[in-house]
Amino acid sequence: MVKHTDHTVTVLDKLTYAGNRASLAGLPEDRVRLVVGDIADAGAVDPLVAEADAVVHYAAESHNDNSLHDPRPFLDTNIIGTYTLLEAARRHQVRFHHISTDEVYGDLELDDPARFTEHTPYNPSSPYSSTKAGSDLLVRAWVRSFGVRATISNCSNNYGPYQHVEKFIPRQITNVIRGIRPKLYGTGENVRDWIHADDHSSAVLTILDKGEIGQTYLIGADGEKDNKTVVESILELMGQPTDAYDLVTDRPGHDLRYAIDSTKLRTELGWTPTYGDFDSGLAATIEWYRQNEAWWAPAKDGVEAFYASKGQ
């Protein structure tokens, strides 16, 4: 169940290939406003921050495969964009929350019982995760050097409705809908720690309301699954043979395993996920993509053409 608030929200979005105005359809127009602009553009950012009570910084270039193809947009958005937002928050003394990723910690061995905590050293392995690590460090510096009232969260892999079809779970779901066999990098043994997007959002709201300034909180829902299991679950839930997928060449530098320990968030701030059962969240996600082909179809052919050019 999505938790609704009475907040008024201004969305600043560059509407790149990954943006979609239709994602805001049906939201109350008197409380949700879309401003098309770049977070690296101080002229666009400053007046919006000046009138805000808080800035929640979700914006990022986030697709690992794209970062390997062309790292520059990741530097522009994830580093310069974060700097621009922080400077505006500093000028106007506005509360700031920064959304980051568990990928800043690198990866864990498949048989390692450990999980990432707030004290795990940074060890990013891709242009994407490196720029996110850099943005985290900027936030910490602006807290310490300039007194910006900021918090950070590092979240595990999200899934759910409205996720671009370049991402792993929606790509496989929409492939099955289109009659295309799902694709798995390598042997499919790589492990991700999955969390439903609604749970991520509720955790962020909890941190915004209750989090201690200068602190980092890890967000996870104990959803560790290897990629092979995820694809087989998708196929089973969609009435297909569980072996109806293809293995393709592995991604360069592909991280082995992510796993989040969210004890601090749960014990100190009292947050718990709603989707404790991954399969129920996955079934709801599949149904959303079945019912909303008009939302994802315009991007699908381009995504598959990109992967086909790389044999993936």
Q: Check if 159 is active-site.
A: no
Q: Check if 102 is active-site.
A: yes
Rounded to two decimals, the pTM is: 0.95
Q: Check if 103 is active-site.
A: yes
Residue 31 in tokens: 């409380």
Helices in the chain by DSSP H: which ranges?
42-50, 64-69, 72-74, 82-92, 127-146, 168-178, 197-210, 227-237, 263-269, 278-291, 293-309
Question: Pick the catalytic residue: 38, 61, 107, 128?
Answer: 128
CB distance 212 to 64 below 8 Å: no
**Whole-number Å distance between alpha carbons of 139 and 154:** 13
Question: Pick the catalytic residue: 13, 38, 61, 102?
Answer: 102
Domain ranges, ordered by start, for the chain:
9-164+194-224+258-277
**Whole-number Å distance between alpha carbons of 63 and 171:** 13
CATH architecture of the region 9-164+194-224+258-277? 3-Layer(aba) Sandwich (3.40)
Q: Look at residue 2 in the predicted model and tell me its pLDDT.
A: 53
Select from 155, 156, 163, 157 the least CA-distant residue to 285: 163
**Whole-number Å distance between alpha carbons of 79 and 14:** 16
Question: 88-98: b or e for each residue (b if 16 or more CB lie within 10 Å)?
Answer: bbbeeebbbbb
Q: Look at residue 1 in the predicted model and tell me its pLDDT.
A: 47
Residue 39 in tokens: 């977070």
Question: Pick the catalytic residue: 61, 103, 136, 198?
Answer: 103
**Whole-number Å distance between alpha carbons of 144 and 138:** 10
Q: Look at residue 143 in the predicted model and tell me its pLDDT.
A: 98
Question: Is residue 267 packed enough to be buried (19+ CB in 10 Å), middle (13-18) or exposed (0-12)?
Answer: exposed
- The pLDDT profile of the chain, 312 residues, written as one tens digit per residue, is 456 788 999 999 999 999 999 999 999 999 999 999 999 999 999 999 999 999 999 999 998 888 989 999 999 999 999 999 999 999 999 999 999 999 999 999 999 999 999 999 999 999 999 999 999 999 999 999 999 999 999 999 999 999 999 999 999 999 999 999 999 999 999 999 999 999 999 999 999 999 999 999 999 999 999 999 999 999 999 999 999 999 998 888 889 999 999 999 999 999 999 998 999 999 999 999 999 999 999 999 999 998 888 877
